[in-house]
């Protein structure tokens, strides 16, 4: 369990990424493939699994191959354990992904400090949770000081920056993935 190599593949995200890379609508892909728009939408959202022949039709419409789409597919993990590293204590800044693969949710653990002056703006919503230590987060012209077990929610599009204010600070950042259209683009 939890080993991506043991899991069946979800091809929907690969189909969506390829379609968007070509700047095509579902209607165009449906016309080229002879498949319906609702079916293609279900495939992209992993609510339907295309047969081999349907996948080949989609691949042809996207000017690729079924093999390439399968190679770019995500494992269909319903349970995946990411274990803490068995290493020496962290002596500098570090980022560790807590969710593997290309999923609707991403989560990372930041230990120590990072580029404090770097400004972030994510397309989708995110939550910052202080597991240990303390941080200052500047968002929408205000500075928010957070300590252990505090969290801050940011709506997609909000420009922000943060910095650790204590050594050995650990911040968990959980967000809707950038490849998901959870919200409209904001100016």
Do residues 95 and 18 touch, judged by C-beta distance below 8 A?
no
Q: Would you state the pLDDT for residue 76? A: 59
Mean pLDDT of 48-61: 91
Q: What's the mean per-residue pLDDT of the chain?
A: 81
pTM over 0.75: no
| Helix H or strand E segment including 160 | strand 159-164
What is the rounded distance in angstroms from the CA atom of residue 89 to the CA atom of residue 8? Answer: 36
Is the pLDDT assigned to residue 172 strictly greater than 60?
Answer: yes
Q: Name the pLDDT band for 3 (thresholds 50, 70, 90).
A: very low
Q: Where are the alpha helices (DSSP H) in the chain?
A: 12-21, 26-33, 37-44, 52-61, 66-71
What is the rounded distance in angstroms from the CA atom of residue 148 to the CA atom of residue 136? Answer: 12
Task: Tell me the β-bridge partners of 129.
Answer: 151, 172
Selected residue with higher pLDDT from 182 and 55? 55
Do residues 27 and 51 touch, judged by C-beta distance below 8 A?
no
């Amino acid at each position: 369990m939890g080993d991506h190599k043991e899991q069946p593949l979800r091809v929907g995200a690969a189909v969506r990424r390829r379609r968007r890379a070509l700047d095509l609508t579902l209607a165009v892909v449906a016309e080229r493939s002879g498949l319906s728009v609702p079916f293609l939408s279900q495939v992209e959202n992993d609510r339907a699994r295309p047969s081999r022949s349907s996948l080949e039709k989609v691949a042809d419409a996207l000017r690729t191959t079924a093999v390439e789409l399968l190679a770019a597919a995500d494992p269909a993990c319903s349970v995946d354990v990411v274990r803490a590293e068995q290493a020496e204590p962290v002596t500098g800044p570090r980022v560790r992904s807590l969710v593997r693969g290309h999923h609707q949710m991403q989560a990372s653990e930041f230990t120590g400090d990072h580029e404090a002056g770097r400004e972030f703006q994510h397309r989708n919503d995110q939550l910052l949770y202080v597991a240990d230590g303390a941080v200052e987060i500047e968002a929408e012209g205000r500075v928010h000081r957070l300590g252990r077990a505090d969290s801050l929610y940011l709506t997609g599009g909000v420009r922000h920056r943060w910095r650790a204010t204590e050594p050995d600070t650990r911040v968990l950042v959980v967000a809707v993935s950038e490849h998901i259209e959870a919200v409209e683009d904001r100016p």
